[in-house]
Amino acid sequence: MNRTKWTGTALTIVMLTSVLVACTSKNAEPAATNAPSSTANNVGAKKLDPVTLKIMVPGDRPKDFDAVIQEAEKRMADSLNVKLDVVFVPWADLAQKTQVTLSSGENIDLIFDAPWLHLTQQIAAGSYEPLDDLLKKYGPNILKNRPQQMWDANKFDGKIMGIPNGNSFVQGRVYYVRKDLREQLGIAPIKSYDDLIKFAYAVKEKVPNITPLVPAGQDVNKGLSEGAFRHYWADNKANIQPSPALSESLTLYTKNNDGKVYNLFDEMDPMVWSWIQNARKLYQDKIISPDVLAIKDVMEPAKQGKAAIITSNDFGVKDDIQKALKSGNPKAEFEAVTLMNLNKGAVLTNSLQYNFISVPVVSKHKDRAIQFLDWANQKDNYDLLVYGVKDKNWEAVGEDQYTFKGDGYTWFPYVWIWNPTTDRQDASQNEETKKLNKWTADASNFTIDKLSGFTFNNAPVSNEISQYTSIEAKYYSALFNGVVDSDAYWAKFKAEAAPLAKKIQLEEQKQIDAFLAKK
């Protein structure tokens, strides 16, 4: 994730998402009479009445964030006249906090959501405003900064219910590996999963104060669990991946780009089972952290120098992670290892993104919210909000790269304004990482999934999905991280969840068949 694309890392991204029928606005707001139709330049724009926008995003508030917001408000003072009340929600509390906020009708003007969170459920509940008309009127920069293929693939029942935030057609996936330990142990650069695990066992044997492997254990990031993370790698030749209805779960999955939805409860796929059993062995052998399910953010033990390998949703190693590690041990260093199949056309893409910013229907400032995001999608303003105060928090490297200075600001554009047009590359990354980032931004490098553009309406099975996800939370991450006995807990999981999964699968297949019949 990472949630830095988790999110995220995020990130961040190639998985299919469950998508629901879009809802019409309950509280459509008339445009302010003195609102400009475009904030592209803000030159000659009439100063608007003051407005405070409340924005809810995940993560921790950077130390210098208030100074950045102060500068942003100064720049907008004579035109948009917007004040920003940005609320950061800890990742561990994100699902519950945003759910309560939306269901209570609390006034929020912009809110982060994602297919792996509860985006489609909130769309079905009527929580979000359709944005097509607002974007046409107030969001020219937002629209132009994202290619049409990205917009087409990220609509919900044909409508824009959230602005997709991403800069690629496939999200990078890597392991962060302690390069200094690898070299200390006399191990060659890692080229395969077997190499990775051999390194992990060597760490266990010879560096006892370091946990060999720390995958994600929190359910919200279950795609980063040890077993599930392996479906991104080149040996997954069948392209097994989560189905649209359950975007982070392999329980219902697609493969071979054949338009069919498969069900692990009906027949366990041998490869997936091997991933689960391997995770169990690693946990029992004390390769995987014994506290894996309790660790809220794998980047923390990484920064503290307590982990030899962690899973991450991004190419390269983030500069702030590397600096934090080195602050405790100047000789320590992470390197990024990807096992993705980089051959042209080998990876499927549906161009779906993992991160969105939406406008709740309860917002009283919908037009100003979009005007603000449009302002933030201009290059100079984007630079401010993404990288911080220039020459204090960051320095420009050419026209399209940056380097952070100090630790006062954190990279988190994926929560509200990330796009491929104004984004810069991290100059601290090596040339291989920069090359990989460019690879993900070129759709011609991938095979288009035949379900690209398909949106799943979960209204017919919304209750089943809600019940299923509650059950899955008890078992999935524990199973895919090897914390529990594979056979016994899979049997328990199946007994509780299989009937619900079957109903979801049948509805999903019905909709997919109808979609494919029209192509």
d(CA 385, CA 72) in angstroms, rounded, equals 8
Q: Which domain does 3 fall in, by range?
A: 1-168+353-436
Task: Tell me, rounded to whole angstroms, the distance of Cα 354 from its chain centroid.
Answer: 4
Q: What pLDDT sits at residue 39?
A: 43
- Token pair listed for 466: 């809600």
Model confidence, pTM: 0.73
Closest CA to 334 of 302, 304, 376, 360: 302
CA atoms of 465 and 368, how far apart (whole Å) = 35
Q: Give the sheet arrangement for strand 82-89, strand by strand.
A: 82-89, 51-58, 110-113, 356-358, 163-164
Asked if residue 230 is part of any domain, the answer here is: no
CB 3 within 8 A of CB 9: yes
Give the helix ranges, DSSP H, for 132-178: 132-138, 140-144, 148-153
**Residue 231 lies inside a defined structural domain of this protein:** no
pLDDT of residue 45: 65
Tell me the H-state helices in 22-139.
Answer: 65-76, 94-104, 119-124, 132-138
Please report whether residue 2 resides in a domain: yes
Positive or negative torsion for Cα 69, 70, 73, 74: negative
Please name the residues in contact with 248: beta carbons below 8 A apart, sequence gap of 6 or more: 15, 115, 116, 222, 223, 242
pLDDT the model gives residue 46: 82
Query: Domain with 164 in it: what CATH number?
Result: 3.40.190.10
Q: Which residues pair with 85 in a beta bridge?
A: 54
Per-residue pLDDT of the chain (519 residues), as tens digits, is: 333 443 333 333 333 333 322 332 333 332 332 333 344 444 446 899 999 999 999 999 999 999 999 999 999 999 999 999 999 999 989 999 999 999 999 999 999 999 888 898 899 899 999 999 999 999 999 999 998 888 988 988 889 999 999 988 888 999 999 999 999 999 999 999 999 999 999 999 999 899 999 999 887 788 899 999 999 999 999 999 999 899 889 999 999 999 999 999 999 999 999 999 999 999 999 999 999 999 988 899 999 999 999 999 889 998 889 999 999 999 999 999 999 999 999 999 888 888 999 999 999 999 999 999 999 999 999 999 999 999 999 999 998 999 999 889 999 999 999 999 999 998 988 899 999 998 998 888 999 899 988 878 888 998 999 999 999 999 999 999 999 999 999 999 999 999 999 999 999 999 999 999 987
- Is position 149 within any domain? yes
Across the chain, mean pLDDT equals 89
> Number of folded domains in the chain?
1
If DSSP states are collapsed to H, E and C, what string results for 476-491? HHHHHCCCCCHHHHHH
Residue 256 belongs to some domain of the structure: no
Asked if 433 and 315 touch (Cβ cutoff 8 Å), the reply is: yes
Q: 246-301, pLDDT tens digit by residue?
A: 988 999 999 999 999 999 999 999 999 999 999 999 999 999 999 999 998 889 99
Domain assignment of residue 193, yes or no: no
- Give the tens place of pLDDT for each residue, 428-474: 888 999 999 989 988 889 998 999 888 788 889 989 999 999 999 99
What burial class does residue 477 get, using C-beta atoms within 10 Å of its C-beta: 0-12 exposed, 13-18 middle, 19+ buried? Answer: buried
Residue 92 CA, chain-centre distance (Å), reads 15
pLDDT for 229 = 96
DSSP 8-state assignment for residue 360: B
pLDDT the model gives residue 441: 85
On whether residue 429 sits in a domain, the answer given is yes
- As given in the structure block, the two tokens for residue 142 are 């937002």
**pLDDT at residue 452, rounded to an integer:** 86
Answer yes or no: is 471 within a domain. Answer: no
- For residues 355 and 418, is the Cβ–Cβ distance under 8 A? yes
- Residue 62 has a pLDDT of 96
* Burial class of residue 176, CB neighbours in 10 A (0-12, 13-18, 19+): buried
Token pair 């492997």 in the structure block, residue: 213
What is the per-residue pLDDT for 458? 82
Calpha distance 355→419 (Å, rounded): 11
